[in-house]
Structure 1
């Protein structure tokens, strides 16, 4: 085969350190756009970025040229540096150390886009912790809750 053809839709989730509610208007939309821009610069087409006051969801098409770990590392480090330039309220902004990532069937991309777009409504009924543990269970990810949160 002469060509490398790849289509990997990835749903990435991570929170602020200790789930501190730092992602508030008006910075939330700017942050989401910035996160999507970092993905795009790394050749990982951003489809949608959204989240709540204490976490983000990124749906992107992972490039065949980059490891997932490198993408997440870059997204988190660049955005953390960027948000600290946005004012005094963000000088102590940090992301949690870990992240969750789940592969998405191409037939489910539209449903995930809608899910991410409706995060604020969704979190009126469910906390981030409940949501995240739900994803781990849905995708059959083994975990020890003592080490999931920081």
Structure 2
């Protein structure tokens, strides 16, 4: 094969209605499960972490991968996994949509550190502030009404 690429994508998505349903007691199991999905789809997991209401995933992506299909599979399968394991007594669903942000190889260490330190990072900044910063720093046009449903 003569296709060479270097594609790094950070994927961010939230629990429906930004409910804080991901418990620290089972988040590690969820991250391992999602890592398995990414690997089974022949992509490379570089970092995964989150908060009770959202998740960050950094992958090395092959050009043959369709990002929308990968995210759909991650959400669908992990949603079923959470229900089967009965991790929460509340109705669990991922919110529609996601953010996807690309990075150069030279930025990877910083992005991995950022994802690894989510709990510390969010002591200072809300998910909404963080997400809006991503959109602005990547010059992504957006309409507020199409963003996640924020619970203030």
Question: Which TM-score bucket, shorter chain as reference?
Answer: over 0.9
Q: Determine the structure 2 residue equivalent to 1:120.
A: 119
Structure 1 counterpart SS, 2:64: coil
Q: CA deviation at 1:44?
A: 1.0
Equivalent in the alignment of 1:47: 46
Q: Which residue in the other structure is 1:34 paired with? A: 33
Give the aligned partner of residue 21 of structure 2.
22
Q: Tell me, in whole angstroms, the C-alpha distance in 1 between the residues paired with 2:15 and 2:90.
A: 13
CA RMSD, Structure 1 to Structure 2 (Å): 1.2
* TM-score when normalising by structure 1: 0.95
- Report 1 or 2 for greater relative contact order, CA contacts < 8 Å, sequence distance ≥ 6: 2
| Structure 2: runs of 5+ lacking an equivalent | none
TM superposition score normalised by structure 2: 0.93
- The 5-angstrom pairing of residues 126-141 of structure 1 reads 126-141=125-140
Is the Cα contact below 8 Å between 1:84 and 1:91 reproduced in 2? Answer: no
Deviation beyond 3 Å, 4+ runs, structure 1 = none
Q: Is the 8 A contact 1:8 1:61 kept in 2?
A: yes
Unaligned runs of 5+ in 1: none
**Aligned partner of residue 49 in structure 1, secondary structure:** strand
Shift of 1:35: 1.2
